[in-house]
Amino acid sequence: MSDSLDLLDGVAALIVANVPGTAYNPAGTYTAGQVGIFNMLMPTAPDEAIALTWVPQVEHPSMPQGVGLLQVRCRGAANVPRRPVELLDQISTLFLGRMAIHLTPTLQIMQVRERVRAPLGMDESKRWDWTDNYTLDVAYTPTTARPAGGNW
């Protein structure tokens, strides 16, 4: 795998363990009543869904550390405008103020620095869409060029 995909998988697992009704299946298939979690794409179904996207922004040149944006996008069922906000509020309790969230033995979110929330509007099926964007400090898996402790 890659650190980017491992980060998305780890965040999805954290959400599933703490937000009732959510489910994560990398194949993208869900049963009725589940709030499906997807990577990088908001599908047309199911109605209630969460899409996670990781955007690396600043990478340290000599250490396996960086800063990036985690987008958590939530959509509710038709004519239920409050549901995405409810989901985002539950998810935010998992991240805001947290430090040292271990996702794999070599990958961790060192710090969740901030969150910006925004409405994305309503689609043609009358499903509301909102997003929370978190700034994360991340310790990546060490590499030859960026070893643990730095390459100086």
Q: Which of 16, 86, 75, 81 is nearest to 44 (CA)?
A: 75
Helix (H, G, I), strand (E, B) or coil at 63: coil
Q: Using one digit for the tens of pLDDT, what is the confidence trace for 83-92?
A: 999 999 999 9
pLDDT of residue 147: 86
Average pLDDT, the chain: 93
User: Where are the alpha helices (H) located in the chain, listed in sequence order?
Assistant: 3-18, 83-95
Is the pTM here over 0.85, yes or no? yes
